[in-house]
Amino acid sequence: MHLLVVEDDAGLAEALRSTLQPEHRVDCIVDGLEADRLLRRQAFDLVILDLTLPGLDGLDVLRRLRERGAHTPVLILSARNANDERVRALNLGADDYLVKPAMLDEFEARVRALLRRAGAFRSERTTVGRLAFDSALRSVTVDGQPIDLSNREVSVLEALLRHRGQIVSKERLMQIVYGVHDEIGSNTIEVYVHRLRKKLISSGLTLRTSHGRGYALDRDDLSRNGG
């Protein structure tokens, strides 16, 4: 799962990242305007949102997100504990509201509950060729047999399946797999694509490289027919 933490307290943001990262990819943003811009161009599985932010108040970030029709789960984590603030946030479309300072175990429980709810709502099984991918379980099988993929290999595969037959740029894959702040080498995605290509040999799919443009996933028969 890919989570966004919008929190201007750097120490708290890093603590939340450390808590969540063993199981999820986590991006941290400190500014409300930057968060709004990022949410306009990238989808996340959960947003953890402070309210008192530089640039743009958290409630305005939330309002703009819902006005765009996005259903991304949002957990408000704020020191504002007045009842009218909580009611306003929930009315604007927040899925949960937790007051700082919060107990870590309660925070983790609320995150898990929102992700379970969102996963159940969005879960889908995609079958292409002999390969089947379950988006909720992030599991991959070929002819019913599980394929051993790392989390990042699964992320690359999921992105290519969602845009099947279309070229996905290396830069876009890097953003999906690593987030917006991680420092990574330019050839890292090539390594994951190489590994994934070998593991998909018997899947009925071809992972092809379009030099200078990116990568695309096609069924073997379509790839051959298209040259």
Determine the 3-state secondary structure of 87 from DSSP. helix
**Within this chain, do residues 115 and 132 fall inside the same structural domain, yes or no?**
no
**Within this chain, do residues 133 and 179 fall inside the same structural domain, yes or no?**
yes
Q: For position 29, what pLDDT does the model report?
A: 92
At position 94, the amino acid (one-letter code) is A
Contact 84, 93 (CB under 8 A): no
Q: For position 136, what pLDDT does the model report?
A: 65
Q: Identify the residue whose tokens are 């079958």.
A: 127
**Within this chain, do residues 135 and 200 fall inside the same structural domain, yes or no?**
yes
CATH number of 21's domain = 3.40.50.2300
**Within this chain, do residues 26 and 94 fall inside the same structural domain, yes or no?**
yes
Q: Where are the beta strands (DSSP E) in 63-152?
A: 74-78, 96-99, 125-128, 131-134, 139-142, 145-146
CA 108 → CA 19, 58, 71, 111, distances in Å?
8, 21, 21, 5
User: How confident is the model over 68-79, as pLDDT tens digits?
Assistant: 888 889 999 998
**In angstroms, what is the C-alpha Rg of the chain?**
19
Let me know if 35 is exposed, middle or buried by CB neighbors in 10 A (0-12, 13-18, 19+): buried
**Within this chain, do residues 97 and 186 fall inside the same structural domain, yes or no?**
no
**Within this chain, do residues 50 and 141 fall inside the same structural domain, yes or no?**
no
Contact 29, 49 (CB under 8 A): no
Domain total of the chain: 2
pLDDT class for 129, splitting at 50, 70, 90? Answer: confident
Cα 148 to its chain centre, rounded Å, is 21
Domain hosting 101: range is: 2-121
* HEC assignment per residue over 153-209: HHHHHHHHHHCCCCCECHHHHHHHHHCCCCCCCCCHHHHHHHHHHHHCCCCCEEEEE
User: How confident is the model over 153-177, as pLDDT tens digits?
Assistant: 888 898 888 788 888 888 878 767 7
Domain boundary among 121, 141, 158: 121
The mean of the pLDDT values for the chain is: 84
Domain boundary among 100, 121, 142: 121
**Within this chain, do residues 102 and 173 fall inside the same structural domain, yes or no?**
no
